[in-house]
Structure 1
Amino acid sequence: MSIAMEELATPGQELGKASELKAGKGAYVSTENGTTYASLTGFLSLIRPPSDSVDQRSTVEVTGHKAHGAVPQPGSIVFARVTKVMARTATADVVCVDSKSVREKFTGIIRHQDVRATEIDKVDMHLSFRPGDIVRALVLSLGDARAYYLSTAKNELGVVSAESVSGGTMVPISWTEMQCPLTGQVEPRKVAKVEA
């Protein structure tokens, strides 16, 4: 039996302890503190378990309103625009989830260890991404309340579109480099393998 509540939840809002509530659609449990949080904006509803169920915890769901776009989930492939690159992380705004555009702002973080699968100790974030790059990435987890953890550690993941300093759309020439067609300038990137 589902009990709809008029209460509106927002992403990152604490909904209760996982020991008392199971996370349903639009909610997730933090592995760090065992707390259930909302992962999108919408209305809360509680679904009571059947009386013969072994697990007697209610399930909490957050149902988005009709205008809701796609929402990143662990395992989703997303396209994101890099906004900031630092020594250990790159921050990006998610623009598409599994080829569906998003209507809310979702932030992703690519950590140093999630850039590529091999030679992780040699990764230089500034040689892998630049602000403005469009990357194809895998959603690893919901991270913290402010950002999703993203990975580009597979061949088909990484930078798919980049603009050179002179404003040209760069062309991939190897796994680690892209070239400006206007000037011939080569810039380092963690390039996504393009399917033939």
Structure 2
Amino acid sequence: MAAMRMEQGEADLVTPGEKLGDATVLIAGKGAYLSPNGRTIHASLTGLRVLTPPPSGSSDQRSIVDVVGHRSHGPVPEPGSIVVVRVTKVMARMASADIMCVGSKAVKEKFTGIIRQQDVRATEIDKVDMYLSFRPGDIVRALVLSLGDARAYHLSTARNELGVISAQSISGGVMVPISWTEMQCPLTGQIEHRKVAKVPPKSEVKDE
């Protein structure tokens, strides 16, 4: 029935993560994304599902599916986006966080993300200790992997430039990174463990 309504040009209200259709017959447009398995297309925001037929003469006969926001909203995280988050809770196998920015733009709606143990870093994944990687209140730069089942985005810090970019020490000082895995409090000299994001000096940045 949903397919029939779409073919007739009627719009359906959808929510983030909801399946919009199969990639065999649809192309993901604005407000939509292709699932990691490459087979289904899902909504990345709340709004109306709108179908646009393929251009006449196009070799690709799939229609384009867009999700048009039903109200004004700011940027929305999508798979592949770089986001800045604030860690709210750290557990043995994951950390929860509130998404603050998508790229350089602040979000206007509440989006939640989780960083799973296997997504903290690219090497020695089985040795990752979440409590030595993040703490509540840390500001973290991360990559959006996908929209998880619980309406929480799956995030990754498994790149050199991803990880903690700002953190307060137990004493309240803003810590300074001293290695890939450590930050130091300027007030007490105490060292705390983190998954630190490396920001290369401008002199090291080269165009590929």
Fold shared by both chains (TM-score > 0.5): yes
Tell me which of 24, 28, 32 is aligned to 1:23: 28
TM-score normalised to structure 1 length: 0.85
Structure 1 unaligned residues grouped into runs of 5+: none
Secondary structure at the residue paired with 1:194? coil
Q: Does 1:110 align with 2:115?
A: yes
Residue 79 (structure 2) pairs with residue 74 (structure 1):
yes
Contact 1:12 1:145 in 2 (8 A): no
* 3-state secondary structure, aligned to 1:121: helix
The equivalent residue for 1:142 is 147
Match of 2:53? 48
The Cα offsets for residues 76-128 of structure 1, whole Å up to 9 and x where unpaired, read as 21111111212221121111111111112222221212211222222111100
Cα distance in 2 for partners of 1:195, 1:36 equals: 36
- Conserved 8 A contact 1:3-1:47: no
What is the aligned partner in structure 2 of residue 178 from structure 1? 183
Measure, in 1, the Cα distance between the counterparts of 2:104 and 2:69.
Answer: 19
Q: For residues 12 and 144 of structure 1, what CA distance do their matches in structure 2 show?
A: 8
Alignment deviations for residues 37-77 of structure 1 (CA, whole Å, 9 cap, x no partner): 21112222111123544543322110225632112222221
C-alpha separation in 2, matches of 1:156 and 1:35: 30
Structure 2: tracts of 5 or more residues without a match:
1-6, 202-208
Structure 1 window deviating more from structure 2 (156-165 vs 11-20): it is: 11-20
Tell me the residue number matched to 1:154: 159
Q: Distance in 2 between matches of 1:186 and 1:3?
A: 63
User: If the length of structure 2 is used for normalisation, what is the TM-score?
Assistant: 0.81
User: How far apart, CA to CA, are the structure 2 residues paired with 1:27 and 1:155?
Assistant: 28
Paired residue type of 2:171:
S
Q: In the superposition, relative to structure 1, how do residues 3 and 159 fare at CA in structure 2: closer, same or farther (>3 Å)? A: farther
Letter in 2 for 1:73: E
Q: Cα–Cα, structure 1 residues 173 and 144, in superposed 2: closer, same or farther, change >3 Å?
A: same
Name the Cα RMSD after superposition: 2.5
SS of match in other structure, 2:108: strand
CA drift at 1:34: 4.2
Distance 2:76 2:63 in 1: 23
- Deviation of 1:137 (Å): 1.1
After superposition, the Cα gap between the structure-2 partners of 1:172 and 1:33, relative to the gap in structure 1 and judged at 3 Å, is: closer
Give secondary structure in 2 for the equivalent of 1:105. coil
Kept after mapping to 1: 8 A contact 2:23/2:38: no
Shift of 1:20: 4.2
Matched, 1:94 2:78: no
Is the alpha carbon distance of 1:78 and 1:48 closer, same or farther for their aligned partners in structure 2, counting shifts above 3 Å?
A: same
- Say how many residue pairs are matched: 195
**Equivalent pair of 2:33/2:78 in contact (CA under 8 Å):** no
Judging changes above 3 Å, is the alpha-carbon distance between structure 1 residues 3 and 131 closer, same or farther for their aligned structure 2 residues? farther
